[in-house]
Structure 1
Amino acid sequence: MISWKGPLLYAFPPTTLIHKVLQKARRERARMILIVPTWDRQQWFPLLLRMSDRPPLPLPVALDLLMQARVHSAPAPSGSASTSMVKPWLSTLESTCTEGVQQVLECSRRTSTRNTYEQKWTRFTAWSSAKQLAPLDVPITVILEYLLDLKRDRLSLSSLKVHLAAISAFRYTEEGPTVFTHPIITRFLKGLVNLYPPRKPLPLSWSLDLVLSTLSGPPFEPLATVSLRLLTMKTAFLLAITSAHRVSELAAVMATPPCTVFSKGVVTLRLHPAFVPKVSSEFHLNEPIVLPSFYPKPHRSSKEAHLHLLDVRRALAFYIDRTKSFLKTDRLLVSLAPRSKGEGLSSQRISKQIVSCIKMCYKLRKTALLAPPRAHSTRAVAASTAFFKGIALKDIRRAATWSSYDTFAKHYALHRVFEEDTRLSTAVLSSASCT
């Protein structure tokens, strides 16, 4: 047993060990700076006050108040986890690895996932602290109460699962079920599904035909003279609908050769080499986006000439030409705002351009939308339209960069009335002709 007698000590024990630390310090008459939460209802709190030789000093409230010591060694790789968050969500075995290995292990989760988990964990920590509980030590029953509070705040079941995943990441267990897979948690989630059945949204809140027919005329034409704002909206929408790619991927498209190459009848786009797609398999990394021209010249009829106005290759050529004078980035889609003019558009801004395009088309047609449109719906529309036009599912999966066919079937396929769906009703009603 190590003696605590001697020089001034420093301790910041887990909440479950505070009482034992105080008892040992009293037995050995140790002097120390002790960091503990102000939990006046805990049984160790009166003992803490009796042993203190001066009034407690409150620490300022800040999310970054408690951090791991920084190791001044080789710089962390780009996108690595923040130093303050590395230790809490590593297992006991993983925590024995070197700092560099720990950072690599943390990068098994994407940066966006780590940021989301940190936000959810911060919320759970604040909730636990308000109840004078230690977030790392609370039992499953308390976590269930937290989930119920979130549901009372009208969070969806999918949002609750994200919170659970975050808590599981920080409360890693070497043996037994994780928080997420605990039997009582599984039963609780099933209960929520029965109490609050999920509502299936409308298959589609906007018409592709209406939007395309509107984009092929004023005020979106002619492209040589339309405002740059309208040209950006039209280009972003056509790029999204013809590629079926995510807005995060569209934000990473490069503007200059050799990443953007115009060839006869086709334009080939490539994403930034450092961009990591959502599906980061070898098949999907640095996969080019190849978009053919739509009814290229010469046109054999006025109808072909009109349809050519929806040519994404043509829209991209005009857009690149009209933005090159103020371009400040190597990205294709750029901002027009005065403060950030010429800088790359974020995924959120591209989504806003796509949604604004759909809304404006409906406004010009004086037609009401069934529901607010979402930019991500262009993937469902593009993939489903191609599927019902006879395009092979493997080609759709490749273009949309999905990891499996099930992704399309479960989340993106828009329901249509097939001939097979009508057989029952037809058979029933046809009995009228037999009598």
Structure 2
Amino acid sequence: MGPSLPRHVRFTSELPNTTIFQLETRSRGSGGRCFPPILASTNTLCLSSFQSYSSSSSSNFATEVNYGPHHTLVAHSIMVPSTSTSLNRLPPDSSVLSRSSPRSSWQFPPSDLVRSTHPYCLANIGNSGTTSSFSFTTRELLSDAWAPGTRSAYRSAWKVWVRWCSQRDLDPLQASVSDILNFLSASFDSGKAYRTINLYRSAISATHPLIDFIPAGKHPLVCRLLKGIRFRRPPLPKYNSTWDVNLILDLFVSWEDNDSLSLKFLSFKLTVLLCLISIKRISDVRALDISRMQYSPEGVIFTVYRRTKTNLHSVFYPAFPHQHKLCVVRCLRSYELRTQSLRSSSSSQLLISFCRPHRPVSSTTLARWVKLTMGMADIDISTFGAHSTRGAVSTKLFQSGATLSDILKAANWSSDSTFKTFYFKPQSHVSMTLL
């Protein structure tokens, strides 16, 4: 038992961790010197009455607990310095029990913990303490409301915010509006694009407690700042031109019939045709399920049950009976027959690897297949990626006389400005009648 102090109890216990739990000492009657909550690891939940960090290394814990008539039980941890020689007791240095101002009385986790920082406070939860009544399953389900890509993007953006705050001795979960504005402005000064800054705003808004009873990202000053950033540095399309779809179509015509193609090239062909005909994303094509497709005389329709970025429910692919080598339905039937004996009963994803053990492929693999096919068609793949198929097809369709409404519906674009700004890239001699 440590030395006797008024209203304090201090004890040590040896546990397999390299963390010291420390409670800020408070003056009598002062309720503003408690540690602000900080989110520092994937196993940390932001609560108003308890705070802990987790670490994978091995060391001891030393805990100090303060009791007061107006204070809740709180714990706060800092990493043990690597040069520490005393692991079984509290260091004699009184600096362990900080009595400085509230802003300088807590320490940020080191860079290795910042790298693992992960927002557990979910969107529209205005106060981190409101999560104290949520079970682990509840938190997981609330987190699953975000797509995996969104969670990954928010996690990366949150790490940037935490690191920026740590350099200025700020609490990332108790920052003021001016702190958030300064962070977004600093990101602008460093050359970040509007999309990146907007992602930072969204990640902070989804994790930070409410400010003036509204989400931090929807605060009028934050919205006004983002509007100014958009005007000063508007988002630009990734491509300034596009490629001719006929290059790939001519390539497929030059290939052998579907039954004579190897499984590798048959997989390439089917993937590219699925992307071109539907104007869908690579991730949408990956979501196609062989157990949820239905043939008809007009073509084939897929019912999509997996989560996609555009909340896709179904996709229809028409048949082209007079173009055997370019008919996606014929190619699909051949692929289905060829892969029937290779499929695992545990997965019904349409596109699988042509290499053993023939597992379902990821969106990254499908994008690589598309780029390899584009390269075989003499398309500059150093400039154009797999996602450029959407702009190439939509531009070709509009130039061929397709209506704008049909193009928007097929590509799941809600606004024609999306098509005009980012995807419609006609040749320089083509009249810009759309604009």
Q: How does 1:21-420 map to 2 (within 5 A)?
A: 25=66, 35-37=76-78, 48-49=95-96, 63=113, 85-86=120-121, 90-92=125-127, 95=131, 98-99=134-135, 105-147=142-184, 149-151=186-188, 154-175=191-212, 178-182=215-219, 184-186=221-223, 188-189=225-226, 192=229, 196=233, 198-217=235-254, 220-256=255-291, 259-264=292-297, 266-271=299-304, 273=305, 275-280=306-311, 284-285=312-313, 287=314, 289-296=315-322, 307-328=323-344, 329-338=347-356, 341-362=357-378, 369=380, 372-415=383-426, 417-418=430-431
For residues 14 and 171 of structure 1, do their structure 2 counterparts lie closer, same or farther at Cα, with a shift above 3 Å needed?
Answer: farther
Matched position secondary structure for 2:317: strand
Q: Is the 8 A contact 2:286 2:363 kept in 1?
A: yes
Give, as a single letter, the amino acid of the residue that structure 1 aligns with 2:307: V
Distance verdict in 2 for CA 1:386–1:195, change over 3 Å = closer
Query: Where do 5+ consecutive residues of structure 1 fail to align?
Result: 41-45, 53-57, 68-81, 297-306, 363-367, 423-435
State the alpha-carbon separation in 1 of the partners of residues 155 and 197 from structure 2. 15
Tell me which stretches of 4 or more aligned residues in structure 1 moved more than 6 Å: 13-16, 58-61, 64-67
Is the CA contact (8 Å cut-off) linking 2:289 and 2:348 kept in structure 1?
yes
Residue 223 of structure 1: CA displacement?
2.7
Give the TM-score, by structure 1 length.
0.67
Asked whether the 8 Å contact 1:380–1:414 carries over to 2, the reply is yes
Distance 1:146 1:117 in 2: 16
Shift of 1:333: 0.8
Measured after TM superposition, the shift of residue 331 of structure 1 is 1.1
Could you tell me how far 1:196 is from its partner in structure 2?
4.6
**1:305-359 CA distances to partner (integer Å, 9 max, x unpaired)?**
xx43111112212222222232223111111344xx3111111211221122112
Distance 1:189 1:87 in 2: 22
Q: Distance in 1 between matches of 2:413 and 2:209?
A: 30
Number of residue-to-residue matches in the alignment: 365
What amino acid is aligned across from residue 158 of structure 2 in structure 1? W
**Gapped runs of 5+ residues in structure 2?**
1-5, 13-20, 27-31, 37-48, 50-64, 82-92, 100-107
Native 8 Å contact 2:122 2:143 kept in 1: no
Aligned partner of residue 259 in structure 2, secondary structure: coil
Range that drifts further, 171-180 or 342-351 = 171-180
3-state SS of the aligned residue for 1:267? strand
**CA shift at 1:122, angstroms?**
2.1
Q: Distance in 2 between matches of 1:386 and 1:378?
A: 12
CA deviation string 1:231-258 (max 9, x = no partner): 21111111110112222221111224xx
* Structure 1 residues 142 and 59: alpha-carbon distance in aligned structure 2, compared to 1, 3 A threshold: closer
Deviates more, 1:122-131 or 1:166-175: 122-131
The more displaced of 231-240 and 121-130 is: 121-130
Worse-matched range after superposition: 237-246 or 319-328 = 319-328
1:225 to partner: Cα distance: 2.7
Q: 4-13 or 144-153: which moved more?
A: 4-13
Shift of 1:153: 5.5
Query: Does structure 2 retain, via aligned residues, the 8 Å contact 1:279–1:403?
Result: no
Bigger helix fraction: 1
Distance 2:160 2:290 in 1: 40
1:192-213 CA distances to partner (integer Å, 9 max, x unpaired)? 5566565445443321112211
Q: Alpha carbon RMSD of aligned pairs, Å?
A: 4.6
2:45 corresponding residue in structure 1: none
Counterpart-to-counterpart distance in 1, 2:245 and 2:324? 17
**Structure 2: which amino acid aligns with 1:129?**
S
- Partner of 1:249, secondary structure, is helix
State how far apart, in whole Å, the 2-side matches of 1:26 and 1:322 are.
71
1:332–1:14: structure 2 CA closer, same or farther, 3 Å change rule? farther
- Pair 1:150–1:95, CA change in 2 (3 A): same
CA contact (8 A) 1:334 1:342 kept: yes
CA distance in 1: counterparts of 2:115 and 2:158, whole angstroms:
15
User: What secondary structure does 1:269 align onto?
Assistant: strand
Distance 1:381 1:139, change over 3 A: same
Checking the alignment, whether the CA contact within 8 Å between 1:205 and 1:369 is kept in structure 2 is no
Task: Specify the SS of the correspondent of 2:210.
Answer: coil
Contact persistence 1:267–1:291 (CA under 8 A): yes
Cα pair 2:122 2:207 within 8 Å, conserved:
no
Q: Deviations over 1:156-213 (max 9, x none)?
A: 2211110111112211315266443445545554555566565445443321112211
